[in-house]
Amino acid sequence: MDYLTAKALLKKCGQTQLLQYYDELDDEKRRALLDDIERADFSVIENIYRKEQSAVGKLSPVRAVSLKEIAKYRTEYERVGEKLLKEGKVAAVLLAGGQGTRLGFNKPKGMFNIGETRFLSIFEQQMENIKKVTGKVGACFHLFIMTSDKNDADTQKFFRENNYFGYSSDKIHFYIQNTEIVCGFDGKVLLDEKHRLSTSPNGNGGWYSSLVSSACKDVLNGGIEWLNVYGVDNVLQRICDPAFIGAAVKSGCGCAAKVVSKASADEKVGVLCEQDGKPCIVEYYEMPENLKNLRDYDGELTFRYGVTLNYLFNVKTLNKTKSEKLPYHLAKKAVPHIENGERFFPKEPNGYKFETLVIDMVRLTGSCLAYEVEREKEFAPVKNAFGVDSVETARALLKKNGVKI
């Protein structure tokens, strides 16, 4: 894109401030700035003027395959799951593109030391969990790792230096998630440098569109039918669990979610519900108070199943929904940027990041199997440095599960 075309485009979008330092730049930097402008999707800005879609409307609870039912059918579920794993029809996708701001660790979250008497990174612990499955099944599955432009180099280096934690390196594939522009509360896109637009990872809902547009697509197209998507922050995460795969296949659903019974009505987890006959996940802050506290005759919460960021997606179903747009969610963040010619580091949020979320993909698939797991055995999130869902609580749960940390 040349200067005049960029200027006309920015005028149309009300973003001419992006060219304010153009005259000061050398040729290379001018090129970089014009390329950034050409790549940017300015239409996302409209989302700040749109009322946030909230999950009101008619919600109903879902039924899950309970722990009791799973115990009864486990052998059959495992048989089906193990067969698919041996045939290479299931792969895993680790969502590791987040910035982990709540933990306050300035490296990729997976590099965080969850050990006490030895160094044990979150990545290593999750790879140990994977190796338990592959050891039992006798076959390695492909693992796609989604990073962001901000943490890709550190993540790849860490895996390399740790010899891929003893996993086959040819089965591990990194790809970088896409980004979106970042704007101030006034809707003006911010400059990260005088010649670079401010951007940030586009949320964990971008995992599939980024995967199919990456070099990893050839591996994906080599016969993979199910993708087990999981978050980096649960150290008890069971990945490619054969029984879960078997139950998902047998259910005929487009996706499946590992859920836990909520510890309390106020627990900060997304809740798997149904809305107009379709599955949907309602974030804890969007759940209407009356529904949040509703109880069944047996005293259990009516809307009781919290999601653990462990989903199985059927690839054919995903491909059918590829053209559907996911809604953008706005995250208020403190965004360093250029102001009056200097780099400025705000302490308070000053702008919006635009993110799509994996939880919104569940609705698009049309049907979701809720699969209950024991929280003490499979759910140890590391979101915060202290308190609830923190390093301390995750360490305690690892020890409870016999992991030497």
Which residues of this chain interact with ligand UTP, rule CB under 6 A? 95-102, 109, 146, 177, 201, 203-204, 231-233, 355, 383
Query: 400 in helix, strand or coil?
Result: helix
From CA 7, how far away is CA 23, in angstroms rounded? 13
Q: What is the dihedral of CA 296, 301, 302, 305, to 10 degrees?
A: -150
Cβ-based nearer residue to ligand UTP, 61 or 201 = 201
Q: In the bound complex, what is the minimum distance in angstroms from residue 202's beta carbon to ligand UTP? A: 6
Q: In the bound complex, what is the minimum distance in angstroms from residue 324's beta carbon to ligand UTP? A: 19
Q: In the bound complex, what is the minimum distance in angstroms from residue 299's beta carbon to ligand UTP? A: 31
Cβ-based nearer residue to ligand UTP, 184 or 201 = 201
Cβ-based nearer residue to ligand UTP, 383 or 395 = 383
Cβ-based nearer residue to ligand UTP, 179 or 365 = 179
Task: Kindly state the DSSP code that residue 45 receives in the 8-state scheme.
Answer: G
* Strand 329-333 relative to strand 351-355, pairing: antiparallel
Cβ-based nearer residue to ligand UTP, 15 or 234 = 234
Cβ-based nearer residue to ligand UTP, 232 or 253 = 232
Q: In the bound complex, what is the minimum distance in angstroms from residue 344's beta carbon to ligand UTP? A: 21
| Cβ-proximal residues to 242 (8 Å cutoff; 6+ apart), any chain | 77, 78, 80, 81, 82, 85, 133, 136, 137
User: First CA to last CA across the chain, in angstroms?
Assistant: 54
* Residue 294 one-letter amino acid: L
Q: In the bound complex, what is the minimum distance in angstroms from residue 5's beta carbon to ligand UTP? A: 30
Burial (0-12, 13-18, 19+ Cβ within 10 Å), 25 = middle
Which residue in the shown chain puts its C-beta closest to ligand UTP? 98
Burial (0-12, 13-18, 19+ Cβ within 10 Å), 392 = middle
Which sign does the torsion angle of CA 202, 208, 212, 218 carry? positive
Q: In the bound complex, what is the minimum distance in angstroms from residue 94's beta carbon to ligand UTP? A: 7
Q: In the bound complex, what is the minimum distance in angstroms from residue 193's beta carbon to ligand UTP? A: 21
Cβ-based nearer residue to ligand UTP, 15 or 177 = 177
